Chains A and B, each alone.
Chain A
Amino acid sequence: MKKIIGMLMGATLLLSACGTPGGGTAQNTKSQKDADTVKIGLNMELSGAVAGYGNQEKEGAELAVKEINDAGGINGKKIDLVVKDNKSDTAEAATIATSLTTSDNVIGMIGPATSGASKAASPNATKAQVPIITPSATDDSITVVNDKVQEYIFRTCFQDSFQGVILANYATDNLKAKKAVIIGDVSSDYAKGLTKSFKDTFKGEIVADEKFNAKDKDFKAILTKIKDKDFDFIYLPGYYEEAGLIIKQAREMGIEQPIIGADGFSDSKLIDIAGAENMSNIYYTAHFSEKAPASNKVKTFIETFKKEYGKTPSSFNALAYDSVYMVKAALEAEKENTSEALTKGLATLTDFEGVTGTMTMDKNHNPKKPAVVIGLENGKETSADVVNP
């Protein structure tokens, strides 16, 4: 027993020893000022379960860095992008946040892409006083924890609760719908947040509120139950796997009403699972669409992106691209390339024009920006409406 306690003490000592270099920020900041380059870290899911998101964001960020460097850099200094792979692992994301701030002395970090990894990375970034911009983590509690704004954490995308509001307004204003059926995933915070904000905003009647769990496959019982009810649309907060199955089973049973969801729908697998012939009258919020350019920078962005990578950019490409430009805007506003300047610049960012919309950072470090609601007919994007908050 004594041995174990001894080992634990030893381990604690070692761990705290590892922590000390993070305390030396004052010194780091000085070296940053004199540096020849602006060092920015990229903490991304480049392998593992959600590598798709990470690699797309890496492409977007690298394109932006290339453009900025070709145009002379930020405040006269070129960007040096330090890319690290967090393997879609939360612990790894936290470790990388530390190594980027302590051994690479970056002045700011972009990523991780997902909410879980971003939450894991934020304590280390806060300790090192180096800001993080996450391009795509939408969970509300990333920037505000227990009613306290995280001083060094920012994001480029809108947050989950905002999507619920947008969708409730879209149903009322654009679809003229009054009666809703909710079929919500009760096993993820993402879907629960979406359900709550929808319920708080939607003025019409909620006819039925059905629930399911992630990994469920059979929704016929729920759908049979709601089929004969009088409703105008189905609100479906959840990810594409279950949503695809629900859409397929609903359409096959003859439920033709519109189905509305959030950015969890935006994966081509949704159409594969549901079957293109069943994908009509489907609407979901997206961060970016070619069809609804949120600003006039979009056209050139799409052209350069196509030239560089030979494909059309996705939401993730666009969000990461904007994140890099937000760093540039923040540093140029403060006329200094340091972590403090970046933190201050990001917190006071106003009317920044990106490819995913014109945004102003609110007091909670969430950008106020429009969302795009995409409409599908037979699996094809047929409409894209920009909805302002």
Chain B
Amino acid sequence: MNVLQQLVNGLSLGSIYALLALGYTMVYGIIKLINFAHGEIYMLGAFIGYYVANNFGFGLVLTLLTSMIICAILGMLIEFLAYRPLRNSTRIAALITAIGVSFLLQSLMIYFVGADTRPYPQLMKNITYDLGIFQISKIQIVIIVTSLFLMLLLQFIVQQTKMGRAMRAASVDPEAAQLMGINVNYTISFTFALGSSLAAAGGVLIGLYYNSIDPMMGVAPGLKAFIAAVFGGIGIIPGAALGGFAIGIIETVVSALGFTAYRDAVVYLILIIVLLVKPSGLLGKNIKEKV
């Protein structure tokens, strides 16, 4: 019984990591940039949800949608202001800019809203259902279902729509894609918008789950989600989802075994082992570099 219960705990934590990891993976897939400011978009998503729910009394669905839309715009704005001017610079320049943007967003939030932890508006009453073999709370169900729905929606957008085809084309060879009439800048903006809206959804859901948000809340999950993306094979969308769930479950298992204090260390250790054995990640294919 305990094993199943721990699995439920791990899945609800893992689905948040998966939502975040998708954003890392898509941006990396298309412009080979590790967007370290992604964790801060997740934090901003949580805060936007906090303000609209408190000030306008929005319900869960409306709060989620508003936060996702605003963060999508923010994501595009960050790409336009910080990353686009560096499109033709070295990759390390863009990476350092991403770290800079991440610190900037944290500091701005601390300046404007303060570093305090604040309680999240209760958008719904949490009920715990006892299913005999395990317990699951209403919020856990909402988290898992919403995450799965968003992931399927993303898979549909990427595989079935014109925009998705443009994204895939741009990720293979941006210049050739441009020659084929694809507006690459537009496609990259769209990728940022998609990734940021998923992060925002994660932020709102986690705010609801733990009932506490603060300007530094994006740091640890951002890093974990990045690990999840690498773990599953960075650049591969199903890999990010798998990696997210895997990290969530590993963390829960480590805590359940009584090693909470070493939880992060174990996650990193597993990552190192995966990278040693299969450097392209769990679902990655080994692509030979052309010389």
Which residues of A approach B to under 8 Å, CB–CB?
49, 186-187, 210-213, 215-218, 220-222, 224-225, 228, 241, 244-245, 248, 252-254, 269, 272-275
**Which residues from A are CB-within-8-Å of B263?**
213
**Which residues from A are CB-within-8-Å of B206?**
217
**Which residues from B are CB-within-8-Å of A245?**
210-212
| Nearest residue, chain A, Cβ from B214 | A241
Contact between B260 and A241 (Cβ–Cβ < 8 Å)? no
- Docked Cα-Cα span, A49 to B6, in Å, equals 36
**Which residues from B are CB-within-8-Å of A222?**
255-256, 260
A221 and B255 in contact (CB under 8 A), knowing A49-B115, A273-B117, A275-B211? yes
With contacts A221-B253, A225-B258, A275-B211 known, what are 16 further pairs, Cβ within 8 A? A211-B258, A211-B261, A217-B206, A220-B252, A221-B10, A221-B254, A221-B256, A224-B256, A225-B256, A244-B212, A245-B210, A245-B212, A252-B126, A269-B117, A269-B119, A275-B119
**Which residues from B are CB-within-8-Å of A212?**
260-261
Contact between A273 and B211 (Cβ–Cβ < 8 Å)? yes
- Docked Cα-Cα span, A215 to B13, in Å, equals 15
- Docked Cα-Cα span, A245 to B212, in Å, equals 8
**Which residues from B are CB-within-8-Å of A269?**
116-117, 119
| Nearest residue, chain B, Cβ from A274 | B211
Contact between A220 and B2 (Cβ–Cβ < 8 Å)? no
Contact between B122 and A220 (Cβ–Cβ < 8 Å)? no
B186 to chain A, nearest CB (A): 37
Contact between B128 and A254 (Cβ–Cβ < 8 Å)? yes
B9 contacts the other chain (CB 8 A): yes
- Docked Cα-Cα span, A98 to B251, in Å, equals 48
**Which residues from B are CB-within-8-Å of A210?**
258, 260
Contact between B260 and A220 (Cβ–Cβ < 8 Å)? no
Contact between A248 and B260 (Cβ–Cβ < 8 Å)? no
The answer, among B122, B128, B254, B255, for a CB contact under 8 Å with A253, is: B128
B87 contacts the other chain (CB 8 A): no
Q: Which size class do B's interface residues fall under? A: 20 to 34
Which chain B residues (1-56) contact chain A, with CB distance < 8 Å? 2, 5-6, 9-10, 13
With a 10 A CB-CB cut-off, give which of A210, A244, A252 has the most chain B CB atoms.
A252
B137 contacts the other chain (CB 8 A): yes
Contact between A224 and B2 (Cβ–Cβ < 8 Å)? yes
Contact between A252 and B212 (Cβ–Cβ < 8 Å)? no
**Which residues from B are CB-within-8-Å of A274?**
211
- Docked Cα-Cα span, A157 to B221, in Å, equals 38
Contact between A225 and B2 (Cβ–Cβ < 8 Å)? yes
B91 contacts the other chain (CB 8 A): no
Contact between B210 and A221 (Cβ–Cβ < 8 Å)? no
Q: What 8 pairs between A and B have smallest CB-CB spacing?
A: A221-B255, A272-B119, A220-B9, A221-B256, A221-B252, A211-B261, A224-B5, A273-B212
B146 contacts the other chain (CB 8 A): no
Contact between A217 and B135 (Cβ–Cβ < 8 Å)? no
- Docked Cα-Cα span, A274 to B206, in Å, equals 15
Please, could you name 19 A-B residue pairs with CB atoms under 8 Å apart, sorted by A? A49-B115, A186-B261, A210-B258, A213-B261, A213-B263, A217-B210, A218-B13, A218-B210, A218-B251, A224-B5, A224-B9, A225-B258, A241-B212, A248-B211, A252-B137, A253-B128, A254-B135, A273-B211, A274-B211
B118 contacts the other chain (CB 8 A): yes
| Nearest residue, chain A, Cβ from B10 | A221
**Which residues from B are CB-within-8-Å of A225?**
2, 256, 258
B220 contacts the other chain (CB 8 A): yes
B219 to chain A, nearest CB (A): 9
Which chain B residues (250-291) contact chain A, with CB distance < 8 Å? 251-256, 258, 260-261, 263
Which chain B residues (108-131) contact chain A, with CB distance < 8 Å? 115-119, 122, 126, 128
| Nearest residue, chain B, Cβ from A218 | B13
**Which residues from A are CB-within-8-Å of B115?**
49
- Docked Cα-Cα span, A186 to B258, in Å, equals 13
